[in-house]
Structures are given as C-alpha cells and as structure tokens.
Amino acid sequence: MTAADLAVELEVSLATARRDLEALSAAGIPVYPQPGRGGGWSLVGGARTDLSGLSATEAQSLFLLVGPAAAGSAEARAALRKLVRALPPTFRADAEAAAGATVVDPARWGERERHRPGVVDLLRTAVVRGRQVRLRYRDGTEERLVDPWGLVDKDDTWYLLAGTERGRRTFRVDRITSAELTERPAPRPDDFALAEAWRQVVGEVERLRSRTWATVLVDTRFVPVLRDQFGRHCETGEEVGERTRVRLGAPTPLDIARHLAGWGALIEVVEPPSVREELARIGAELTARYAGSGR
C-alpha cells in the first residue's frame, strides 16, 4: 500500500503515515518501501507479528490463569508451550514463571480429591460442535436426546445445561451413567447466554435450599463459624449484649436442627417452634441412646 492509502485508511495525515512507517521499519518490524510506479510500503513475505496486543502484565495474567488448568492435560501443556514461543522474547521468562506460580488443590481439608467425570470431555465436544447427545441418567429414566448448550464447573462438581423437549434442563454430570455423541445438530437459542442461564439456576436452587428460616442467638465470636457453615443462608442481624441475632436458612426445620444440634447450649433458637421441636426430639433420641452408657 502507498503511504497515502494508509493515511486514508487510518484517518491520519500523509506526513504522520510516512513518519510511523519509517519508525516501524527502524524498530525492526519487517516493512520496507518500494520506490517507483506501482511501489509503496510492503510487509516481508511470510512475516507474522508476535502474539501482539498483549502487554507484559496481560501475558502474566493469562499464564497465571491457564498454568494451573494445564497441569492435568498433555494437550493443554503443549498449547501452553506454543503460546510461550509466540510471545515476544522479553515476555517469555515472566510468562513461564507465572504458569508455574500456582497450584490448584480442589479438595478441602479432610476430603478426598474429586476427579472430573470422563464424560465431561465428550460433552464439551458436543457443545463446541453443536451436536445432540443421547444420555442416560442415574434416576433410572429412559435415554434422553438433549441439545447440550454449556457446561459449568461449580466447586469441582460439573453440570450440563441442555435443551430438551420440556425446555431447558440442568443435569449433574456425575449422575450421567452413559452418553453418546450423535451427528444430529443441536440448535442453540440466539439469546442464550450461559453465565446468565447459570445465575438463574443458582437462584432457583438457593431458593429451594432456604424454604425454612430460623432466628437464633449466638455469641458474636461464633458468627463467622455459622457463616462458614451456612454460607449465603446466614444473615447477621442486631447485637444483643455479647450475642448476635442471626437468621439461618435450610430446606426443612430438620435440616436446620441437624446443623445446630452439635452446638448444644451455645446457640438459642428463638423461632420457629418447628426447629425447636426438632432439636428437642434429637436431644431426646441422644439421651435415650447414650445416657448412662459410660457407667
């Protein structure tokens, strides 16, 4: 292209276009001028830019993210090595260091590490290729033909969002007993957004998980423990002396009572009566089973 053509394309003056082209050439970018009729500025044949547009901090952020994810996949590690080679030389050392700076351990203390279900790879392929999947679920129902729209990894538990004859459904992947990829196209709604669809699923599940609410009084120093135990279903209220009023949610009164029974007298349930009754029943069962057993 001529400098004049580039000036029009980039909406700058001819002098600016010429100055920038000369600066690029002086900086080692393989562009050079060809004088004479039909001449202009050219890129050396076969030349390619680096993985450009990435700043040093952006490259580090990328490798901090993908480094731990690549640990369990030979293909991902190979892709990571290719990405490193595509970076400008000055970025490579920091990028490689960032890739190995973090290890992800998905198991909580006292838990065994959970492994990703093997069917996840097949479902990913189905989502990417837009192909229907024939699957059987652990509930004993007959085979279903579904349109896979997206996968979600929630705390190392995988879920499939898919279209069915009855509309969108969510399948827990570790409950899928068999899956077969078909060649049938799986249409995906134009307005479907996986992140938004998952937010709706989470909202509905959390609503079902908090159908019963109990108000309790607990020493303020123990409130963080309750938050860890009940998560988003723990709402802190006013302080009453050295204690705090807290609302706790769960599917049923029994679920709340089971969580609180181990606290003994450290927690006082103010309401509802159904939770107090369940605690009394559990206490009576324990007393009947263990009272006097140490004599």
- In a domain, residue 268? The reply is yes
Residues 223/244, Cβ–Cβ less than 8 Å: yes
Q: What is the pLDDT of residue 219?
A: 95
Q: How far is CA 242 from the centre of its chain?
A: 39
What's the average model confidence in pLDDT over 3-16?
90
pLDDT at position 268, please? Answer: 95
Query: pLDDT value at position 60?
Result: 85
For residue 238, report the phi and psi dihedrals to the nearest 5 degrees.
-75, 155
Check whether residue 77 and residue 19 sit in a common domain.
no
pLDDT value for 149: 95
Contacts of 25 (CB under 8 A, 6+ apart): 31, 32, 33
On whether residue 95 sits in a domain, the answer given is yes
Q: How many domains are contained in the chain?
A: 4
Grouping H, G, I as helix, E, B as strand and the rest as coil, residue 241 is coil
Query: Does residue 177 sit in the same domain as residue 187?
Result: yes
pLDDT at site 146: 94
Alpha-carbon span 204 to 198, nearest angstrom: 10
Whether 39 and 60 map to the same domain: the answer is no
Rg for the chain, CA atoms, rounded: 30
135 & 198 share domain: yes
**Three-class SS state of 1:** coil
**Would 295 be classed as within a structural domain?**
no
**Pair 255, 278: CB distance under 8 Å:** no
Q: Are residues 235 and 256 in the same domain?
A: yes
Q: Which residue has the higher pLDDT, 275 or 58?
A: 275
Same domain, residue pair 39 and 69: no
Q: Which domain holds residue 253?
A: 209-290
Q: Which residue would you say has higher pLDDT here, 184 or 69?
A: 184
172 occurs within a structural domain: yes
- Kindly report which listed range (101-105, 149-153, 159-163) carries the lowest average pLDDT score: 101-105
Write the pLDDT tens digit of every residue in 108-142.
788 777 777 889 989 999 999 999 999 988 766 67
Query: Does 217 share its domain with 202?
Result: no
Q: Please list the residues that pair with 135 across neighbouring strands.
A: 144, 179
Domain boundary among 207, 241, 270: 207
Percent of the chain with pLDDT over 90: 47
Alpha carbons 234 and 228: distance in angstroms, whole number: 9
Helix (H) or strand (E) holding 194: helix 194-208
Q: What is the pTM of this model?
A: 0.64
Domain endpoint, select from 177, 207, 237: 207
The CATH number of the domain where 221 resides is what?
A: 3.30.70
Same domain for 197 and 137, yes or no, is: yes
44 — phi, psi (to 5°)? Answer: -55, 135
